[in-house]
Amino acid sequence: MQPESLMMTHGYVPEWSENAVKCPIYQTSTFVFPNAEAGKRFFALAYGKLEPNSGEQPGLIYSRLNNPNLQILEERLALWEQADGAAVFESGMSAISTVFLTFLKPGDRLLISNPVYGGTHHFVHHYLPSIGVHVEHFTADTDLAALQKELCADPRGAQIKLIYAETPANPTNDVIDLKALGALKKALAAQFGTEVRLAVDNTYLGPIWQKPMEFGADMSCYSATKFLSGHSDLIAGAVTGTAESITAIKTLRTFLGNMASPNTCWLLTRSLETLKIRMTRQAENALHVVRFLESHPKVSRVYFPGWASQGDEQVRIHQQQSSSHGAMISFDVLGGEASAFTVLNNLHLVKLAVSLGSNESLAQHPYHMTHADMPEDEKNSLHLTDAMIRLSVGIEDPEDLIHDLRQALDLL
């Protein structure tokens, strides 16, 4: 069965909870052991001291280690990408920083795409170097085959333990070639005999429209605050991936204690039921909005993943790895920051707020808001200009959205 058919029931048995159709919220910190011997076995399994018998479920101990709401959510989330497993966190940043801390040690090197989400950029540039992790960038313009050759012949290639890409990138919608990164990972591991992992921030198109594990990625990272939640009412993060990566991540999560709460998991489980229908409608709406923006005389450029305005190579990569353009549009207006602010200040239906992927449309100014912390020369070199507005398209009527955007743009 397809994931959308399983989202209402998978992993939950009504008999567990007075035949309730819906899984209740297990708002409890701890669980009663049937006897002391069982408690001993649960701990031995949880800490990996014993292997589970075939089909044996890990016993419930304490909600930092596990909780039914967390487990059911993780089992359902993994279905969308046919991942071995998933780990859910209290924020997207918490998921992403735990991935970095799990797979990077002092002296290791991180190879990461640019631009990325502002919080990821901050962690990578301010925290990782302070613990002795080297950071090296590439962009959508980097020739990845040439980089592979260069790194396989250079000692820095042996230091690379994690390749991380955000694609499409926030906020420029640049797409990064996942197939080429899968090949780079394999080549480095073969050349140096190292364990190299590939993680992809899949927040913009996943898990419906892009499945990085098909291209050799070990993990997809998510801000679950965005499309996965879809209602702008919670903060959460997730990683889906291979059994080996998820086990390593969950082990560190147990000690950082940054798992999501039962209440947040319950809300996300509810949101997953409508994930595909919401994302489908949002993507359809975005196509209408992009065509309108392209036709407006005050819009000088639109940035939409795999759209012709991004160039032929970007279209090729997008077609190779993604099955929709998604619902995130950035666009430049004539007249720079002043014009962008005029538009943002005069939108009525579209709300002026950061975040994205929600049922309601949201717009913001990346240069001075989500990416305020990024150095100006870096922003300028990545065509992240002060004329740019980032728009997350919701599930409203598309004509109402276009009407709102038109009246604001017509003020310029």
- CA–CA distance, 228 with 88 (Å, rounded to integer): 11
What minimum distance in Å lies between the beta carbon of 170 and ligand PLP? 4
What minimum distance in Å lies between the beta carbon of 199 and ligand PLP? 12
What is the Cα 287 distance to its own chain's centre?
22
* Number of neighbouring beta carbons within 10 Å of residue 25: 17
What is the SS3 string spanning 136-151?
EEECCCCCHHHHHHHH
The H-or-E segment that residue 340 falls in is helix 336-346
Among this protein's residues, is 201 annotated catalytic? yes
- CA–CA distance, 340 with 47 (Å, rounded to integer): 53
Residue identified by tokens 């926030």 is: 170
φ, ψ for residue 247 (rounded to 5)? -60, -45
Candidate segments 90-98, 269-277, 379-387, 404-412, binder of ligand PLP by CB under 6 A: 90-98
- CA–CA distance, 408 with 219 (Å, rounded to integer): 40
What minimum distance in Å lies between the beta carbon of 357 and ligand PLP? 8
Residue 225 lies near ligand PLP (rule: CB under 6 A): yes
Residue 112 lies near ligand PLP (rule: CB under 6 A): no
Residue 92 lies near ligand PLP (rule: CB under 6 A): yes
Q: x-or-dash pattern for ligand PLP, window 232-251, by CB under 6 A?
A: ---x-x--------------
DSSP strand pairing (299-303 vs 219-223): unpaired
Residue 168 lies near ligand PLP (rule: CB under 6 A): no
Among this protein's residues, is 117 annotated catalytic? yes
Query: Long-range contact list for 44-47, CB < 8 A, 24+ apart?
Result: 46/254
Residue nearest ligand PLP, Cβ-based: 92
Is 102 exposed, middle or buried (CB count within 10 Å of its CB: 0-12, 13-18, 19+)?
buried
Residue 97 lies near ligand PLP (rule: CB under 6 A): no
Residue 321 lies near ligand PLP (rule: CB under 6 A): no
DSSP strand pairing (109-113 vs 134-138): parallel
Residue 230 lies near ligand PLP (rule: CB under 6 A): no
220 or 339: whose CB is closer to ligand PLP?
A: 220
Of 172, 188, 207, 205, give the one whose Cα is nearest residue 310: 172
Q: x-or-dash pattern for ligand PLP, window 346-365, by CB under 6 A?
A: ----------x---------
Q: Which of 226, 281, 318, 371 binds ligand PLP (CB under 6 A)?
A: 226
Q: Site for ligand PLP (CB under 6 A): how many residues?
A: 16
Of these residues, 174, 177, 201, 386, which one is catalytic? Answer: 201
φ, ψ for residue 383 (rounded to 5)? 45, 40
Of these residues, 62, 64, 186, 400, which one is catalytic? Answer: 64
86 or 188: whose CB is closer to ligand PLP?
A: 86
- Give 88's strand partners: 238
Contact 276, 4 (CB under 8 A): yes
159 or 258: whose CB is closer to ligand PLP?
A: 258
Residue 91 lies near ligand PLP (rule: CB under 6 A): yes
74 or 166: whose CB is closer to ligand PLP?
A: 166
Q: Which of 80, 103, 117, 227 binds ligand PLP (CB under 6 A)?
A: 117
Residue identified by tokens 């959510």 is: 73
* Number of neighbouring beta carbons within 10 Å of residue 154: 10
Of these residues, 26, 41, 108, 117, which one is catalytic? Answer: 117
3 state DSSP class of 156: helix
10 or 270: whose CB is closer to ligand PLP?
A: 270
Residue 172 lies near ligand PLP (rule: CB under 6 A): no
83 or 268: whose CB is closer to ligand PLP?
A: 268
- CA–CA distance, 31 with 115 (Å, rounded to integer): 44
Catalytic residue numbers? 64, 117, 201, 226
- Binding positions for ligand PLP, rule: CB under 6 A: 91-93, 117, 119-120, 166, 170, 201, 203, 223, 225-226, 235, 237, 356
